Amino acid sequence: MKNKIKLITIFFFLVLSVNCFAFEQTLFPKDNLTVGDKITLKIKAEGLTAENIDKKKLQSADFGDFELLDVQPDSDGAVAFIMTSFKAGKVELLSADINFTVNGLSKFIKTKAEQIEIKSVLNPKKPSRDIFDIKGIYSFGHSAWWYIKIILAIIIVLFVIYCIYKFIKKRKSPALTHNEIIRSIPPKEYALSQLENLQSLNLIEKGQIKDYYDKLSDILRFYISRVYNVDGLGKTTGELFVLLKDKVSYDYNRELKNYLINCDLVKFAKVIPSVETINDDFQKAKSFVERI
């Protein structure tokens, strides 16, 4: 009986040693972090490389409050997992399984959970000025009868316009709706025309950088939605990444995710990019459209 227990114990430890083993884990930086900053989870273990990691399982790994941006080889033989978080306060990097293959054998590492303090990019001493105080009551100098006549004139004009519209509508065949017109145009042709139209709005020159990136992101998301029949506008960047993982290549999906995250930083974290970065982001959006 004792020999059987010993054999079972030895077999258990042999199986465990094949799959999970010791490793070194380092997370940096850990201090003075703000929303949107990139951190590196550095893992060093025997046989672990950036190339032999199971990327499909890695896509579905749950890192808690953090988004995985990229996986790169490090100079000392370790593997660097590049991450970011858009949540301020005490956030948690959850423990996750890193699956990889060495000499035909499947192995995995279970990372250690980490808790990090992340600061908001907004200055608490200087609140946002997006909302302004209500202006005082303006005193008008005209009589009530003057305004009644203006209102009656407007009603008459609107009634005449409505009658003309109904008359023309009866004589013409039913017109296509806005959505029907859009869907009649090939997705790539429509997306490229929208990008050209965005440039003609001169939003950057007007200082409307957030609106510019909002429209740039929506053009790309709408294009992806039409091509792959997914809800690109109603999903977060992370959710869209999961929806596309079986529809596009891993490299294209990862690049698209990183690009949309950079757009989100401008839209939600109020990051102000340089003129060179803005021009480069426009060309990248155009490249995403032309590559499909």
2 part of a folded domain: no
Q: What whole-number distance in Å separates Cα of residue 26 and Cα of residue 40? A: 8
**Residues 118 and 35 sit within 8 Å (Cβ to Cβ):** yes
176 part of a folded domain: no
Q: Which domain-ending residue is among 119, 140, 172?
A: 119
pTM of the model: 0.44
**How high is the pLDDT of residue 18?**
43
Is pLDDT at 178 greater than 70 in this prediction? Answer: no
- The share of the chain scoring above pLDDT 70, in percent, equals 84
Which pLDDT band, with edges at 50, 70 and 90, does 197 fall under?
Answer: very high
Helices (H), 204-236: 209-228
Parent domain of 60: 19-119
Residue 272 CB-half CA count within 13 A: 4
* Encoded tokens for 121: 């990019």
For residue 239, give Cα distances in angstroms to 36, 186, 230, 233, 289.
18, 26, 11, 11, 20
25 and 113 share one domain = yes
**How high is the pLDDT of residue 13?**
44
CATH number at residue 32: 2.60.40
* Encoded tokens for 266: 């401008």
pLDDT tens digit sequence for 83-116 = 898 888 888 888 888 898 888 898 888 888 888 8
Number of structural domains found in the chain: 2
For residue 183, give Cα distances in angstroms to 145, 155, 174, 216, 278.
50, 36, 17, 19, 29
Which pLDDT band, with edges at 50, 70 and 90, does 127 fall under?
Answer: low
134 part of a folded domain: no
Is pLDDT at 41 greater than 90 in this prediction? Answer: no
Rounded to the nearest angstrom, the gap between the alpha carbon of residue 53 and the centroid of all alpha carbons in its chain is 24
26 and 111 share one domain = yes
**How high is the pLDDT of residue 28?**
83
97 part of a folded domain: yes
Q: Which domain-ending residue is among 75, 99, 119?
A: 119
Q: Which domain-ending residue is among 119, 152, 167?
A: 119
**How high is the pLDDT of residue 14?**
44
